[in-house]
Amino acid sequence: MKTTRNTTAKTTILEIIKHSDVALSHTEIQTLSNNICDRVTIYRVLDRLVGEDVIHKIVNLDGTIKYASCHHAHNEVEHTHNHIHFSCEKCHAVTCLDTVEPTFKMPSNYLVKAVNFTLSGLCPSCL
């Protein structure tokens, strides 16, 4: 069994992401954490949380990487992040639409390992 280190920075960053309704960038996380640690430590914590499958990365349409909490049952051994992300063109919020699963057809000689669907438009708050 893999052991994980729990630090104040890791706990704080995870709580910030878990309680956010939108995906957050590194800069947003650093601001919300009241600069609890330096930016390099935040990157390391984010990489560790992604590796532990507690959060997932979203590459926004402008190339910005954002992070969101995984919403899966604790007893799931493996889960996927095959859901749609929505990027608002006005407020720039990125949200996970966990109940919307993308569908696509791939030729049989391809093996898909990850899916990243991001749609853009206006979110309900900006309509």
**Considering the domain boundaries, does residue 3 fall inside one?**
no
- CB contact at 8 A, 14 and 4: no
CB-side neighbour CA atoms (13 Å) of 87: 18
Share of the chain above pLDDT 90, in %: 62
**Considering the domain boundaries, does residue 70 fall inside one?**
yes
- Looking at residue 120, what DSSP letter applies? E
- The CATH number of whichever domain residue 102 belongs to comes to 1.10.10.10
By residue range, what is the domain housing residue 99?
A: 8-121
**Considering the domain boundaries, does residue 74 fall inside one?**
yes
What's the CA gap between 59 and 80, in Å, rounded? 16
Residues linked to residue 84 through DSSP beta bridges, in sequence order: 97, 117
Mean pLDDT of the region 49-59: 92
**Considering the domain boundaries, does residue 98 fall inside one?**
yes
Q: How many domains does the chain have?
A: 1
Residues linked to residue 97 through DSSP beta bridges, in sequence order: 84
* Tokens found for residue 97: 């639409």
What's the CA gap between 115 and 41, in Å, rounded? 28
Share of the chain above pLDDT 70, in %: 87
More confident residue, 87 or 83: 87
**Considering the domain boundaries, does residue 1 fall inside one?**
no
- Looking at residue 97, what DSSP letter applies? E
**Considering the domain boundaries, does residue 36 fall inside one?**
yes
What's the CA gap between 125 and 53, in Å, rounded? 30
pTM: 0.79
Please determine, for residue 116, whether its predicted confidence score (pLDDT) is greater than 90: no
